[in-house]
Structures are given as structure tokens and as C-alpha cells.
Amino acid sequence: MKPIPILLLTGYLGAGKTTLLNHLLNLPSIRSKKIALIINEFGSLGVDGSLIQPGDFDKFELNKGSLFCICIKTDFIKTLDTIANEVKPDLVIIEATGVAETSDLEEFIDSPNLQEQFEISANVGLVDAENFVKILPFMRAARSQVEWADGIVINKIDKVEPFAVDELEKVLRDLNPHAPIVRVSFGQIPDDFLGTLTHQRKRGAMATMPPGNIYALSFQTDEKIDAESFRELLSELGTKILRLKGTVAFEKGRRFVEVVHGQYSEKSIEENTSSTPKGLTVIGWQMGRNEMQEKFEKLFS
């Protein structure tokens, strides 16, 4: 039997990986296959998994931390073992958490139970055209995701001027001279882009723990909170929030809320949407974990 191919999606927080994944699931070259999805989140709530469009595929969620940290290795191997023996798909697509250091997935695949069952077909690195150069100097994961990519997708080009995309591509070429690059908005890569990619096996030391200066907090509650107080807290915390995503019950109804690189947005959701977790995940840094947790817990109390 031929090994089952794995398509890996990486990209820093807010780059648009879930949007890209939903687009991929509608491409003719993928829609015709039997698919298994692995959604990896840094928080425990499983927000990203709930945002995947409904479809005829098997979905597995790993919410303990970075996929590329040895701390999740056992769960990851068990999941792939289940996929190989029970699902038997044509393709596995993995959406890695935004803070994943793309060290060496091959180390996982080389385990005795998996090495003949799977192979990585491509590692697609997603880049936020608007924010990548801002985070590159101080976020190591953003750099490594590009360096390890077999193909690079510059996303959100609608938000910047063409000359800025040109300059960004020069930066990406310095980091990774060999990976094909495509420029898109809303993750809309052409159907033939994946066919141009060839996986280059790389070696690197496995991370033994998630990034020490970044942490995830998850809050689940049905308590209604004051919308103005919520936004004031986000303003107070500012850049100490790397990412926020989930649902909050305001006085006028439950809303889906997001913070991406300091930009806050919200939209209404249907109250009877059972697949959407009631709560939110906050990825923070530059502030003590307990201090940030206390600030949000006061809001919900």
C-alpha cells in the first residue's frame, strides 16, 4: 500500500489558516478525495475546529499545545494511528497552531507504527501580508514556519499596497529561496498550486515544550458581560494579546469576537449553533499568565 499523503498548513497567529482550509476543502482536486482533518490549537477550547465548514470528512482536534512540541507526540501518533486503521483516507490535512515551531514532523512520522503508513506531501506556509514584517523580528515561530515551508502563500494582499507585497516577497525569498510563492486574498489559492510543491525533508531539534513566553487561556461561560467593559479590557491589554477568538454573551446577544494583531472585530452568531463553543481562547504574552487570567475572570464574575 502507498503511504497516505499529509498536507501540512502552517502560519503565524491570524494569518488565515482556517479560511485557507475551508477553501481547500472546496477545490476540485481535494473535494473528490476522502479527507481526514487534524486541527491543532494552542488553547483547550477548540474554536478553530468549530469554524471548519460542514462536510463529508473525519475531523480530529488536538488542543494541548503546539503540534511540533514533543509534549503532544503521544496524542498525535494515536490520532494518526486511528486515521490509518479506521478512516483510511486519501489525504490528511493538518492545520497547525499559529505558534507552532516547524521543527521536524518527520520525527513523529518515523515512529515504528507510522513510518510506512504516512508521508508528507507538502508543507504550506501562510503569511499575513499586512503584519508579517512587524512580527518577524521578535516571533521565532513566524520565521521558522517560512523557512521550513515547501510553498508560501502570501494572504490578505487586499489589505496592503502592491509595492508592500513586492517588498514582503523579497523578505520571504531571503528566508526561503526555493519555495514557490503565490499571492492571494481570503486564502483563495489556485487549484494547481499544491501540485507544484515538492516536500523537502529537513532536520531540526524537537521542541521539548511549548514556547515559554506565550500561553493560552480558555474561558467557558454562559454569563452575560458588559460589552463596553469587555472592549475596555482589550484596549488596556493591547499588544499583550497576541490572539483572541471565540464567543461572548453580551446583553444584546452572543457575538463571535476576534483580536488579530491588535485589531478587534465581532459579528453575530445564531444562538442555536451547537458547534460553536461558548467561550473564548486568549493567547497572551508579556504579562504574567495569572494576572491576565484574573482580569478576564473578573469580567465574567
pLDDT at 40: 82
HEC string of 143-205 equals HHHHHCCCEEEEECHHHCCHHHHHHHHHHHHHHCCCCCEEECCCCCCCCCCHHHCCCCCCCCC
- pLDDT tens for 218-252 read 888 778 889 999 999 999 999 888 888 888 888 88
Cα-trace Rg, the chain: 19
Q: What is the pLDDT of residue 203?
A: 67
Q: What is the mean pLDDT of the segment spanning 200-222?
A: 70
Lowest-confidence region among 51-60, 84-93, 125-134, 259-268: 51-60
* Cα distances (Å, whole numbers) of residue 33 to 26, 122, 146, 229: 11, 16, 28, 47
DSSP 8-state symbol, 3: P
pLDDT category at 66 given cuts 50, 70, 90 is: low
pLDDT higher than 90, residue 108: no
Of 101, 114, 98, 91, which Cα lies nearest the Cα of 71?
A: 101
Q: How confident is the model at residue 45 (pLDDT cuts 50, 70, 90)?
A: very low
pTM of the full predicted structure? Answer: 0.77
Q: Which domains does the chain have, with CATH numbers?
A: 4-196 (3.40.50.300), 214-300 (3.30.1220.10)
Distance, CA of 279 to CA of 234 (rounded, Å) = 16
As a whole-number percent, the residues of the chain with pLDDT over 90 amount to 46
Residue 39 above 80 pLDDT?
A: yes
Question: Grid coordinates in use for 68?
Answer: 511540533
- Cα dihedral 64, 112, 146, 283, rounded to 10, equals 0
